[in-house]
């Protein structure tokens, strides 16, 4: 079981993320999606007894939002060596759909326990129409789901388009868990599990150390 690094978010997810699983983080800009992706890339490296997977991570970046300094801060907070934490992240910059698919297909040979795609929407929005973008995302989601099942990994995607998940409803049959993040101001974020639906919400705060439970 992979912990998100937040007790309340873990509880919202039924204890955390149990591979193989495909988690979709949805929400508007500045809602903490990328921050949580960074945190999960750190958490996955912790030993299983400490909420991690004891594994390396594949981080696919389509928008140039990966920040090594954030990994350093989060790793130090979790008691990991920052240099080793960065070395355990296989970073891939994907500038096209072909780049993204090629990176996804490398999951098996890399021997990683977590795959992060940040963000999934960018390669499909321009110059395609929204409808075509959603269909493309649906096909990619199916591929991610199959590879997650075959490799036994956790896959986390980050989607944004006007606060709605780009893939909805095209990805509903493939995504295991969908969480919407909504900014509340002052660095606070509300997390709501949309799939499977839950009436509970979780309040988080984004700090230098990472995405933590709000006090």
**Is residue 134 scored above 80 in pLDDT?**
no
Average pLDDT (200-208) is 96
Is pLDDT larger for residue 21 or for residue 101?
Answer: 21
CATH number for the domain running over 7-213: 3.40.50.300
Domain ranges of the chain: 7-213
Residue-averaged pLDDT of the chain: 89
Q: How many CA atoms lie within 13 A of 69 on its CB side?
A: 2
- The reported pTM is 0.91
Instruction: Report pLDDT for 133.
Output: 67
State the distance between the two ends of the chain, measured CA to CA, in whole angstroms: 25
Three-state SS letters, the chain: CECCCCHHHHHHCCCCECCCEEEEEECCCCCCHHHHHHHHHHHCCCCHHHCCCCCEEEEEECCCCCCHHHHHHHHHHCCCCHHHHHHCEEEEECCCHHHHHHHHCCHHHHCEEEEEEECCCHHHHCCCCHHHHHHHHHHHHHHHHHHHHHHCCEEEEEECCCCCCCCCCCCCCCCCEEEEEEEEECCEEEEEEEECEEEEEEEEEEECCEEEECC
Tens digits of residue pLDDT in 34-73: 999 999 999 999 999 999 999 999 999 999 999 999 999 9
Query: How would residue 163 be classed by pLDDT, with cut points 50, 70 and 90?
Result: very low
């Amino acid at each position: 079981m992979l912990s998100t690094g937040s007790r309340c978010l873990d509880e919202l997810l039924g204890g955390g993320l149990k591979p193989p699983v495909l988690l979709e983080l949805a929400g508007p800009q500045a809602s903490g999606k990328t921050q949580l992706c960074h945190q999960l890339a750190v958490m996955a490296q912790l030993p299983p007894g400490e909420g991690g997977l004891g594994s390396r991570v594949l981080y696919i970046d389509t928008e140039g939002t990966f920040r090594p300094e954030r990994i350093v801060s989060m790793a130090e907070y979790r008691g990991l060596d920052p240099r080793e934490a960065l070395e355990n992240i296989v970073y891939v910059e994907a500038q096209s759909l072909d780049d993204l698919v090629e990176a996804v297909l490398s999951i098996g040979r890399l021997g990683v326990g977590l795959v992060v795609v940040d963000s999934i929407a960018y390669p499909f929005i321009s110059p395609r129409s929204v409808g075509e973008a959603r269909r493309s995302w649906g096909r990619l989601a199916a591929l991610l789901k199959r590879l997650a099942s075959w490799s036994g990994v956790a896959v986390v995607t980050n989607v944004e388009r006007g606060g709605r998940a780009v893939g909805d409803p095209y990805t509903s049959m493939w995504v295991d868990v969908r969480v919407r993040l909504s900014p509340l101001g002052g660095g606070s974020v509300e997390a709501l599990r949309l799939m499977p639906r839950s009436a509970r919400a979780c309040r988080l705060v984004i700090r230098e150390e990472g995405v933590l439970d709000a006090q």
